[in-house]
């Protein structure tokens, strides 16, 4: 399928959109003021061990203590981005091997036999802080490259199941076994390695092994609560993890980012350089590709299907519920086929919305009831195929007699809704509105658009008092930079009666509103 990656970068945030077959399938946002921790390696100290929960809390220098579960003191290769084919491998923590078997819930040992209070330990963030919870960490470090993930404390060789050819999987496994000679640790061969030569592997493996030696040395020298190794920046992670052979185009709207990327690819991956493009049109990149409209849809509960049916997505504290309805779709054949057709179309949209919104945890889908067993079987198989596009690990149960499908989906970052919205102060948290950060950035972007449209250099902004306060205090430097870079004079006025999301931009000399839509 045709796949394109769009990266929009400005002074407020960097956003990446992945387009598949013309539809927005995934979105990633990193704000310049936010702290990114996923993939970072820290030297921490165990603060508390809870045998009853088979977990420990580790102080790593962040605002909240990190959570270390006993399952993260084992290598579960399916947890490390690309699924592999091996069983669990125990991590040697440098202490005597436990002899008892007092663990619970299927674990052979108790966590108190593996870690102890005040123990210094190298850990890697595998799940960022979500809500009131601190980050989740693992003591089993993984170092991802473009073609392989290096597992320093494992001895396994795994190959991504996304590589379908049995011959190619065996070839890659053989290459990895040969190159592992004399190297401590194991590897997971990634999807991007398909068709690559021994030389490409050996170069990357040498780099990752040297990187691990450097990390270990730094970990020994640095004090507790220190960042030992920071993961790649936003664009670097996108290129490493998503810019694969099936991507036809990588588009930037920033000349600086475009130049950095082409220079990097010229030295390491010259065959991909021709696919990198610079967007230079006057209209914003995300608007030109329809991404902004899709983002607004992704924040609404109801999504219409092409057939006339619709799905409703509702997130709660414990789970996500998705309801499928026929809506205006009445079909042309018998009722059973009409229902099956609506359900099958809903599957594709449900999986796309799960990826786009980064829904996680327990997900329950209420499909329209189907009487025929073969129809339920067909639906389940279609859902399995659609989920192959999803990079996050999912586990699904068969369709029940009531048409319900239960599944779990792994999530390592805050969902799109929690990132772009916050609890609504007007309804005491029963609904959601755009966050102050999101609205403030929208105001600053709209000022730029208003100037380009009207060519006025003196503008007046009227907004809710909370937005005005943010623009004049915490974000005053952003406002000043915008005035300086575009030679503008911006006046900010507040209107307490305006809804938090509403604002107006006027030409200061005529006091007339500049309409942007």
Q: What is the pLDDT of residues 373-405, one digit of tens each?
A: 899 899 999 999 999 888 888 999 988 877 799
pLDDT of residue 94: 37
pLDDT of residue 486: 93
* CATH number for 501: 3.40.1260.20
Q: 328 with 473, same domain? A: no
Q: 331 with 399, same domain? A: yes
Q: Between 463 and 73, whose confidence is greater?
A: 463
339 and 372 Cβ atoms separated by less than 8 Å: no
Q: How many domains does the chain have?
A: 4
Pairing of β 310-315 and β 302-304: antiparallel
Span 111-166, pLDDT tens digits: 888 899 999 999 999 998 887 889 999 999 999 999 999 999 888 888 888 888 88
How far is the C-alpha of 15 from the C-alpha of 6, rounded, in Å? 8
Q: 253 with 371, same domain? A: no
Helix (H) or strand (E) holding 208: helix 198-221
Domain boundary among the residues 416, 446, 477 is at 416
In the structure, what pLDDT confidence band is assigned to residue 330 with cuts at 50, 70 and 90?
Answer: low
Report residue 314 as tokens. 């509702």
Domain boundary among the residues 177, 194, 226 is at 226
Report residue 487 as tokens. 């030679």
The answer to the question of residue 423 being in a domain is: no
Report residue 77 as tokens. 């290769």
User: What phi and psi values does residue 439 have, to the nearest 5 degrees?
Assistant: -65, -40
The answer on pLDDT for 100 being more than 60 is no
Q: 131 with 201, same domain? A: yes
What is the pTM (predicted TM-score) of this model?
0.82
pLDDT of residue 157: 86
* CATH number for 253: 3.30.420.60
Q: 216 with 239, same domain? A: no
- Domain boundaries, position 478: 435-513
Q: Between 517 and 501, whose confidence is greater?
A: 501
The answer to the question of residue 106 being in a domain is: yes
Domain boundary among the residues 293, 314, 342 is at 293
Q: 187 with 255, same domain? A: no
pLDDT of residue 163: 84
pLDDT of residue 333: 66
Span 336-345, pLDDT tens digits: 888 888 999 9
The answer to the question of residue 430 being in a domain is: no
In the structure, what pLDDT confidence band is assigned to residue 406 with cuts at 50, 70 and 90?
Answer: very high
Q: From the centroid of its chain, how far is CA 22? A: 20
The answer to the question of residue 506 being in a domain is: yes
The answer on pLDDT for 167 being more than 80 is yes
pLDDT of residue 413: 81
Could you tell me what percent of the chain has a pLDDT over 90? 56
244 and 193 Cβ atoms separated by less than 8 Å: no
Burial class (CB in 10 A: 0-12, 13-18, 19+), 318: exposed
In the structure, what pLDDT confidence band is assigned to residue 103 with cuts at 50, 70 and 90?
Answer: low
């Amino acid at each position: 399928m045709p796949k394109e990656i769009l990266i929009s970068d400005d002074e407020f945030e960097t956003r990446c959109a992945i387009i598949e077959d013309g539809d927005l399938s995934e979105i990633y946002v990193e704000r310049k003021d936010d702290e990114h921790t996923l993939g970072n390696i820290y030297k921490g100290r165990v603060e508390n061990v809870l045998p009853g929960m088979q977990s420990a809390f580790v102080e790593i220098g962040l605002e909240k203590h990190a959570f270390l579960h006993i399952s993260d003191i084992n290598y579960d290769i399916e947890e490390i981005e690309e699924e592999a084919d091996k069983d669990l491998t125990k991590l040697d923590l440098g202490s005597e091997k436990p002899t008892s078997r007092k663990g619970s819930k299927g674990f052979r040992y108790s966590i108190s036999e593996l870690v102890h209070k005040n123990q210094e330990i190298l850990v890697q963030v595998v799940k960022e802080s979500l809500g009131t919870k601190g980050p989740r960490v693992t003591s089993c470090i993984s170092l991802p490259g473009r073609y392989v993930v290096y597992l320093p404390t494992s001895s396994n060789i795994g190959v991504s199941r996304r590589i379908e050819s049995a011959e190619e999987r065996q070839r890659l496994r053989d290459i990895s076994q040969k190159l592992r000679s004399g190297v401590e640790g194991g590897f997971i061969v990634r999807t991007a390695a398909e068709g690559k030569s021994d030389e490409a592997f050996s170069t990357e493996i040498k780099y990752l092994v040297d990187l691990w030696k450097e990390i270990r040395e730094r970990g020994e020298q640095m004090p507790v609560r220190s960042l030992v190794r920071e993961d790649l920046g936003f664009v670097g992670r996108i290129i490493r993890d998503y810019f694969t052979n099936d991507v036809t185009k990588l588009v930037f709207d920033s000349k600086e980012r475009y130049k950095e990327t082409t220079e990097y690819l010229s030295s390491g991956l010259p065959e991909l350089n021709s696919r990198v493009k610079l967007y230079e049109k006057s209209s914003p990149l995300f608007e030109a590709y329809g991404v902004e409209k899709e983002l607004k849809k992704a924040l609404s509960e109801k999504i219409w299907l092409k057939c006339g049916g619709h799905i409703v997505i509702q997130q709660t504290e414990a789970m996500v519920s998705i309801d499928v309805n026929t809506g205006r779709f009445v079909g042309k054949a018998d009722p059973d086929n009409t229902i099956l057709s609506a359900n099958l179309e809903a599957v594709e949209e449900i999986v796309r919305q799960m990826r786009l919104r980064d829904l996680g945890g327990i997900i329950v889908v209420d499909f329209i009831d189907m009487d025929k067993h073969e129809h339920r079987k067909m639906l389940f198989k279609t859902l399995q195929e659609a989920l192959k596009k999803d990079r996050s690990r999912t586990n699904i149960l068969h369709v029940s007699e009531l048409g319900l499908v239960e599944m779990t989906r792994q999530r390592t970052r805050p969902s799109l809704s929690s990132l772009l919205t916050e609890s609504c102060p007007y309804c005491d948290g029963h609904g959601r509105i755009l966050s102050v950060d999101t609205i403030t950035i929208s105001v600053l972007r709209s000022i730029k658009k208003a100037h380009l449209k009207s060519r006025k250099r003196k503008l007046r902004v009227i907004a809710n008092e909370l937005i005005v306060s943010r623009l004049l205090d915490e974000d005053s430097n952003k406002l000043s930079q915008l005035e300086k870079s575009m030679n503008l004079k911006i006046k900010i006025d507040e209107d307490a009666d305006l809804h938090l999301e509403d604002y107006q931009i006027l030409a200061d000399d005529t006091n007339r509103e500049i309409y942007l839509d």
